[in-house]
């Protein structure tokens, strides 16, 4: 979105630690503040790194990088916040870039997003929540065997988010001599969860929030994600990736046309009655192993486990599963493999590749043992750990449906979620929206959710990605124009264009026009 300049130039001398006082942050002790002038920054930020935005070509940007380090006395944490301040192109706005996976921010993708944001004229910021720039919970999750690091977990979950907003606004005010006209947040996945936490717990932090594919319902979706691995361990059979890929392809072939257009995308997985057992024994040309020649019954059971989500012994559902067009063996950008990933030796022997983000949570925070062997876990143990985790770590859930304070202060919240998300089932997000609606029938006045058929986790898949999500949110905040649809475009070939619908409306095709170009689609 093009932005007129708000304060056209700040002298280079303003980028000095001596001229930027420590912010006033209750409960914190500041350890250092550094200011460094960065000149002529140029970089091409590819689509996907600037969450909720498109690609950005950054050219010759001058900005002041203010790095603040602080601690919460008695908690033995050390949190870094970076605030980047355009020297001569500030648009009067601040944008906080969120994290992903186990990272709160200031990781590679987050810094790429900050580069794009400062290139567009935003004062931009990120926090590492005290976890470092390449955070993995193996490094910080346990203080010692049996003792989770609850302070750092709390920093990641919520505390650092409001801290960063306060620090960012104070630094902006000190540098420019005026506060930001508007303050925004943007994130997806963990970053989406962070945005939802800000709306729920810290409603005054930001005027507008773009929080996509949010990792809310944290315990439920991680335990549910582990369910296919549990099932494979129970069966003591580990289907080859080619088997599961063939089942996914068969499901798409069976259900693709239900929405009236054949495009490799299942618009509504709940209408897809495909039974994976129907293709057991079908021949395979498997590159994983020459000894695997047909789809096994174990592969059908594992695919169904991924689609149903976590279940009790009597097959009662505990949480949601993946859409039937979701790749079950693809890699996940957060550093783990998708929910049913396996690896195979040349002799055809396969084993679980593990699902790292879920197994780390179970090992470190449920079992409190980094070396725990999850392969021997029984269904009963799994169910008990799930229940215990919900009880102990309710603060991580981020699913409080009361957004009244965010609503009353005039905040606007926009989110999208891919229906082929390989990490976070979209039905957890729609369930949350339904709960907000149950509390406030006028939820559409301040919070809108858009479902993206065929889209993977934040990006990818065969579906269309809404690169204008952030701009739609900003336009809503600044001009009062609520987004009825989000225009989205796939990254593959051929390119698919789609108008995404504001939930609970769904996308339909009327059979006329060029579907590839997005013609003939409507919301109802």
Determine the Cα–Cα distance for residues 41 and 48; give it in Å rounded to an integer.
20
pLDDT tens by residue, 55-103 = 999 999 999 999 999 999 999 999 999 999 999 999 999 999 999 999 9
Please indicate, yes or no, whether residues 304 and 432 belong to a single structural domain of this protein. no
Report pTM: 0.95
334 band by pLDDT with thresholds 50, 70 and 90: very low
Q: Stretch 446-454: mean pLDDT, rounded?
A: 97
Tell whether 5 is covered by a domain: no
Which of 195, 131, 134, 130 lies closest to 165 in space, CA to CA?
195
Tell whether 7 is covered by a domain: no
Please indicate, yes or no, whether residues 381 and 404 belong to a single structural domain of this protein. no
DSSP label at 465? B
Question: Would you give the distance in Å from CA 160 to the centre of its chain?
Answer: 18
Q: Stretch 209-215: mean pLDDT, rounded?
A: 98
Residue where a domain terminates, one of 392, 409, 427: 392
End-to-end CA distance of the chain: 29
Percent helix, percent strand, percent coil in the chain, to nearest 5: 35, 20, 45
Please indicate, yes or no, whether residues 231 and 315 belong to a single structural domain of this protein. yes
Total domains, the chain: 2
Please indicate, yes or no, whether residues 177 and 300 belong to a single structural domain of this protein. no
Please indicate, yes or no, whether residues 94 and 142 belong to a single structural domain of this protein. yes
126 band by pLDDT with thresholds 50, 70 and 90: very high
Please indicate, yes or no, whether residues 150 and 278 belong to a single structural domain of this protein. no
Name which of 117-131, 283-297, 310-324 the model is least confident about. Answer: 283-297
219 CB-side CA count, 13 A: 21
Tell whether 507 is covered by a domain: no
Give me 217's structure tokens.
């319902």
Please indicate, yes or no, whether residues 296 and 359 belong to a single structural domain of this protein. yes
Sign of CA dihedral 240, 243, 249, 255: negative
Please indicate, yes or no, whether residues 227 and 204 belong to a single structural domain of this protein. no
Give me 361's structure tokens.
């949570």
Q: Stretch 371-378: mean pLDDT, rounded?
A: 96
Active-site amino acid positions: 189, 421, 457
Q: What per-residue confidence (pLDDT) applies to 502?
A: 97
Sign of CA dihedral 271, 468, 483, 161: positive
Q: Mean pLDDT over all residues of the chain?
A: 94
Tell whether 519 is covered by a domain: no
pLDDT of 240 over the 50 cut: yes
Range of the domain at 431: 12-217+396-483
476 band by pLDDT with thresholds 50, 70 and 90: very high
Please indicate, yes or no, whether residues 426 and 455 belong to a single structural domain of this protein. yes
Tell whether 497 is covered by a domain: no
239 band by pLDDT with thresholds 50, 70 and 90: very high
Please indicate, yes or no, whether residues 56 and 142 belong to a single structural domain of this protein. yes
pLDDT of 333 over the 80 cut: no
Q: What per-residue confidence (pLDDT) applies to 292?
A: 84
DSSP label at 100? B
pLDDT of 134 over the 90 cut: no
Q: 65 to each of 14, 20, 170, how far by Cα in Å?
A: 11, 12, 14
Tell whether 323 is covered by a domain: yes
| Burial label, 123 (beta-carbon count in 10 A; 0-12, 13-18, 19+) | buried
Please indicate, yes or no, whether residues 59 and 176 belong to a single structural domain of this protein. yes
pLDDT of 5 over the 60 cut: no
Please indicate, yes or no, whether residues 212 and 275 belong to a single structural domain of this protein. no
Tell whether 516 is covered by a domain: no
pLDDT of 153 over the 50 cut: yes
CATH number, domain with residue 110:
3.40.50.1820
Which of 442, 417, 443, 420 lies closest to 430 in space, CA to CA?
417
Tell whether 298 is covered by a domain: yes
pLDDT tens by residue, 483-496 = 999 999 999 878 99
């Amino acid at each position: 979105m093009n932005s007129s300049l708000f304060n056209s130039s700040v002298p280079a001398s303003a980028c000095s630690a001596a001229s930027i006082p420590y912010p006033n942050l209750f409960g914190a002790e500041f350890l250092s503040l550094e200011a460094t002038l960065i000149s002529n920054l140029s970089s091409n930020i590819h689509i996907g790194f600037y969450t909720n935005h498109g690609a950005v070509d950054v050219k010759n940007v001058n900005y002041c990088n203010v790095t603040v380090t602080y601690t919460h006395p008695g908690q033995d944490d050390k949190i870094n916040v970076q605030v980047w301040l355009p020297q001569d192109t500030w648009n009067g706005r601040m944008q906080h870039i969120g994290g992903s996976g186990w990272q709160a921010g200031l990781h590679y993708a987050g810094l790429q997003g900050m580069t794009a944001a400062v290139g567009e004229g935003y004062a931009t910021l990120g926090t590492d929540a005290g976890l470092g720039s390449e955070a993995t919970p193996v490094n910080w999750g346990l203080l010692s065997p049996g003792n989770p690091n609850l302070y750092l977990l709390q920093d990641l979950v919520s505390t650092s988010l409001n801290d960063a907003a306060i620090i960012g606004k104070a630094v902006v005010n000190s540098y420019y001599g005026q506060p930001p006209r508007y303050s925004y947040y943007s994130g997806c996945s963990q970053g989406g969860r962070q945005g939802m936490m800000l709306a729920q717990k810290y409603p005054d932090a930001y005027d507008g929030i773009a929080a996509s594919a949010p990792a809310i319902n944290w315990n439920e979706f991680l335990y549910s994600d582990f369910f296919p691995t549990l099932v494979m361990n129970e069966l003591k059979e580990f289907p080859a990736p080619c088997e599961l890929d063939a089942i996914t392809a068969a499901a798409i072939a069976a259900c693709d046309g239900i929405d009236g257009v054949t495009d490799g995308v299942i618009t509504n997985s709940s209408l897809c009655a495909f039974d994976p057992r129907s293709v057991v024994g079908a021949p395979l040309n498997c590159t994983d192993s020459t000894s695997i020649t047909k789809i096994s019954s174990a592969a059908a059971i594992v695919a169904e486990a991924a689609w149903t989500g976590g279940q009790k012994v009597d097959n009662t559902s505990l949480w949601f599963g993946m859409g039937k067009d979701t790749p079950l063996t693809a890699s996940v950008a957060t550093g783990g493999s998708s929910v049913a990933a396996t690896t195979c030796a040349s002799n055809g022997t396969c084993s679980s590749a593990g699902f790292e983000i879920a197994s780390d949570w179970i090992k470190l925070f449920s079992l409190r043992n980094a070396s725990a062997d999850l392969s021997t876990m029984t269904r009963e143990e799994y169910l008990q750990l799930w229940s215990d985790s919900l009880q102990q770590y309710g603060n991580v859930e981020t699913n409080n449906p009361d957004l009244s304070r965010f609503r009353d202060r005039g905040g606007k919240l926009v989110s999208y979620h891919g229906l082929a998300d390989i990490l976070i089932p979209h039905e957890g997000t729609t369930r949350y929206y339904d709960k907000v609606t149950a509390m406030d029938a006028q939820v559409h006045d301040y919070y809108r959710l858009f479902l993206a058929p065929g889209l993977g986790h934040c990006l990818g898949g065969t579906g269309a990605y809404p690169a204008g999500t952030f701009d739609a949110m900003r336009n809503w905040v600044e001009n009062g124009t609520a987004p009825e649809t989000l225009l989205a475009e796939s990254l593959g070939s051929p390119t698919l264009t789609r108008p995404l619908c504001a939930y609970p409306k769904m996308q339909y095709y009327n059979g006329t026009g060029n579907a590839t170009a997005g013609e003939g689609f409507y919301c109802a």
